[in-house]
A and B are shown apart, each in its own frame.
Chain A
Amino acid sequence: VCNLLTAIGESPLFERPNYPLKSPYRSVEAPSSLDAFSVKTLLRFVCFEMPTELNAENHAILAAAIPNFDVKDYDGLAQLYTEIKFLFNHTDPQVLFIGDPKVQFSTGDIIPATSIRGVNLGNAPRYNVQITPVVDVASANHVIEQIMEEGEGASEDDENSHFYKFLQIYQQLTAELARHPNFAPARPVVANPKTNNGTFYSDPRHINVITNKLTNQVSDLFDMAYNTLVLMLLRYFGNANQTQSELDALQYAAFFPFMTAVIRPLGEILTLLPAFQTSRKNPARNRATAGASFELARRAEYLPHSDTAWQVFHMQLQLMVTQAQALSENPRFTADIRNRLTMIYENLYRVLMTYDAKIGLGGTSS
């Protein structure tokens, strides 16, 4: 999507309202909310990924689960991408493709796997990820079709689509619950957890502010990591004037390490920690655990000045290293959680060390 946007001279887009969201797309009757894994949640994902046409079998499954089910209530994404494709194909390419090709990225840019005996892997998918540069109508069509085939409004219920996979999980879970009604497949996470950081929420009914102070510190670190990641991605996808070394620094920090070795384990830790302060009056509430807020605490906008951006990322990383180290040494966490926090601290330390070296900033301090 970023390639499509920047190909026509637009900025990459990461801005969105915070959770829970009302239906974000036209005629998709499914709100976006951070909830525990359940039949209800799964059905929401199934609806999000709804193709425009269903075979009779799948239609029957959903008709049994959703009152007054009509596939047309959920085809907004398909309509959206069909319209986008139409516009790409009916606008003068000379006028349309005005973006700088230097900000078009391919799979190898995002996931720089080593070549095999000097043979370039080309744009072959890696870890099921494939990113194609958009430079003309043909490549734009290819990318839009890939997005749709993978699930964002596919025309039919293909076996490789997200829709099909979610529907399979839904069927497996409902079958398991029929056999074992007490089966609880998820941790008791609260819906739409929020870090308690003084933010004012005009409608707090559908959110859960984390009141457990220890958990809140982890949530705060998660938010910082997530927001830094988004700013890095904006910078990565958005600027044609960055040097290769600067791009390498952002790529190195943002993709694999941050997503998998910092944000994911922090999110998993949060699902194990109590969301609220212990209450004698409401023991059920004591069992509730937190989760990742995925809250955009600041506007996800492009940092316009390169040198400033590098300094901001350095300072954010430095702050995260300090916070992660303090958390990893806090004896109030269990040993298992401290071990994970220690790994996160070490990973952040190393990310900062490498980022500084690639950008050409000063040394890392612990």
Chain B
Amino acid sequence: MSSQAVPSSAAHGHAHGFRHEALLYSGPDEFLAGTLAFIEQGLEADEPALVVVGADKIRRLRRKLGADSDRVHFADMAHIGLNPARIIPAWREFVDEHSGPGRRLRGIGEPIWAGRSPAELIECQRHESLLNLAFADAEGFRLLCPYDVDALAPEVIEEAHRSHPVLVEAAGAERESTDFRSVEIVAAPFAAPLPEPPEPAPERAFQAGTLNDLRGFVAEHAAAAGLSQPRSYDLVLAVNEVATNSVRHGGGHGRLRMWVDGEIVISEVRDDGHIDLPLVGRERPAAGQIGGHGLWLVNQLCELVQIRSFPTGSVVRLHMHR
């Protein structure tokens, strides 16, 4: 992990493109100092701003901003970012609604906090990298992502160096990250390893003619795991969509495994296909669009979706809380 100072003019030279910054702060006071300066700078320039952080931080920011807080949009990251794959669509909605010729936008998003599970953390880090791809052409959009260096593990901060081209200290000093991962690397199939279930999990093979049987298998295991009826139905629908993708695009067949990990029901679909669309499931399908609905729907139904594409095939894991 390394970084180097960049001239202020260069650091601010992203006015016509997407600028993705990591704010490395230590504790609540530095969080406020770093984010308030960013927000107030935007308010002075009359730039629309959306702040997506935890509810407690929103309260503190509102108190500090006073009447100006009405000029800033706020959203609770615990809600929007419960499934990190839902965050990019939220930013997209903000950008589409407020962007215009020559207009600059500001955002603050803190998807990573100390309470994230290991599985959530990896998906959040993937989300942070995908932002660079999703908004590469977003004119004048500046996004600041706070990282609490006291609360987060050093390797999490190291990954922030790889997913953000610019690093900012709470006092305002800016550096260019020399570890920044290029969008070409981000666009490659994501093949981070997935842990095996703690014990052998019930498994069912499927193909086009057995999707009905597969749905019954999911419903049975969802009920046995204690999911409510509506949640069971959501899971049946989600697994069906992933399995349908396997039938259509993944070699015509696949295998489903289901198990419970603590309070989470995990469903895993494996097939022989390859997923080479890095933003799949993170872009709201346009009206009249053919295709692209399946993984979008799955992301709306599940608390976490892990998509992997290995040389041997693809894996999609769905997490649903009991």
Bound together: no
